[in-house]
Amino acid sequence: MRQVHITTFGCQMNEKDSQTIARIMASYDYQVTEKVEQADLILVNTCSIRQKAEEKTYSLLGRLKQLKNSNPGLIIGVGGCVAQQEGKRLLERVPHLDLVFGTRLIHQLPDLIEKVRRERSRLSRTEMDPGEPYLNPLPAVPGFFQGVKASVTIMQGCNNYCAYCVVPLVRGPEESRPSQDILSEVKTLAANGVRETLLLGQNVNSFGQNRMGEISFALLLHRLKKIPGLERIRFTTSHPKDLSAELINCFGRIANLCEHIHLPVQSGSNRILRKMNRYYTRETYLEKIVQLREGCPGLAITSDVIVGFPGETDADFEETMDLIRTVQYDDLFSFKYSNRPKTPASNFPDPVPEEEKSRRLNELQAYQKKVTLSKHQAMEGTVQQVLVEGTSKKTTQDWMGRTRTNKIVNFPGPSDLLGKTVPVRIEKAYVHSLKGSLE
Ligand code: 5AD
Ligand code: SF4
């Protein structure tokens, strides 16, 4: 069997795409290897959300040059968001690269690789409408459905055009997958032992809107709740403007829907939200937070924030801090604004100096760290239902699992706990995890 090594940068969509690639390549007799020096084929699945993410691709490709020199038969391919964004330019910039494939061409990968091999040519293919839907059901390969958790892509692309964001450009327009396909995939997963599913899309709240006669996302959740063996459902990501009352009402009412929502706010200033093309205000966002908590008091809420968007003043940033103090998020992912090619904001005037962006980011992160820790400390002494996912990162003697609110819990226990949900008493809180013992 030939060996393929896959490196993944970026978000959960990319992680999922890499799993799909592994499955497709497995049906063409490629086995995944962790050892890059043993590979006949190296694939890099890339991210371009921020400049730093994009740079990772170039530095990895630089390091791969030596391998190509010592093994001329080696094929190196780049897919994902940098591939889509750069296309042929990537081949020009990286002479030892063989193949560039866009975000919607995953299903054609075996053919493209064969073509490169046969013709000894260098290829770049980035068309957005390849004819065959990217979300087609995949060939069943035994062994690919194993694990406690599995992600299921329910839609691709994005129609929102937030001013800072490269995603609509590199992932194309929004397209929902038929709900029947999603339901049957989740059923198969649950029947094969998967306990938790994460529904993936750039904006799952608008699921179905672009497909005639399709059910809403909330209704999809109601259908999924009936699948035997499926203990937990999560989803990501939600756009606040599309978070409907129907969906808010699902929390606390659908037994296997976990008490956690990731609801990116990006900024607390209405002026900046308008410039970002977000189509909500801090007031309507905060109103939705209130409704979510009224319907489901224990709900964990996390978010994304960008600091230093062009023209962001001290007063705008203070509004963001004020919103964060008001919401008291369980956790936050915060980023310095990064200028992305061809996005609407790329030529907005008044860039915020790098040092100022860092100052704001530090202030925000220091505050959030305190909030996260104090929320974790408030859990000390409580008993949580923990779904065991694997062994702890720090010591393989401990198990690692998550609460329904998505908090990581490490604890010692017998060897047969994988995939089980067990009660754990929380004994010690840290910023990124909790430590406990079996009840
Ligand atoms: N600069 C900084 N952060 C960004 N994000 C998206 N685009 C940019 C950018 N150009 C952040 C947003 C989004 C998360 C996935 O990445 O907060 O929600
Ligand atoms: Fe994911 Fe966006 Fe990065 Fe692409 S650019 S990998 S969609 S975060």
Same domain, 388 and 363: no
Range of the domain at 10: 2-125
Percent of the chain with pLDDT over 70: 96
> Nearest C-alpha to atom 5 of ligand 2 is from which residue?
49
Same domain, 202 and 337: yes
The rounded Å distance from CA 59 to ligand 2 centre is 18
- pLDDT at position 139 is 55
Tokens describing residue 14: 């990319």
Q: DSSP readout, 229-291?
A: T--EEEEE---GGG--HHHHTTTTTSTTB-SEEE---B-S-HHHHHHTT----HHHHHHHHHH
pLDDT category of residue 396 using cuts at 50, 70 and 90: confident
The CB of 338 under 6 Å from ligand 1? The reply is yes
Average pLDDT over residues 153-163: 94
Q: Where does ligand 2 bind, in terms of residues with CB under 6 Å?
A: 10-11, 13-14, 47-49, 80-81, 166-167, 170-171
- pLDDT at position 147 is 87
Same domain, 39 and 107: yes
Tokens describing residue 127: 């068309």
CATH number, domain of 416, equals 2.40.50.140
Is 137 inside a domain boundary? Answer: no
- The region that residue 355 occupies, defined by phi over 0 for left and psi between -120 and 50 for alpha, beta otherwise, is alpha
Same domain, 278 and 403: no
Of 141 and 270, the structure prediction assigns the larger pLDDT to 270
| Three-class secondary structure assignment of 193-210 | CCCEEEEECCCHHHCCCC
> Nearest C-alpha to atom 13 of ligand 1 is from which residue?
304
Same domain, 186 and 211: yes
Ligand nearest the Cα of residue 239 is 1
Average pLDDT over residues 128-151: 70
- pLDDT at position 212 is 87
pLDDT in tens, 363-393: 999 999 999 999 999 999 999 999 999 999 8
Average pLDDT over residues 164-173: 95
Looking at the CA of residue 304, tell me the nearest atom of ligand 1: 17
- pLDDT at position 140 is 56
Looking at the CA of residue 165, tell me the nearest atom of ligand 1: 7
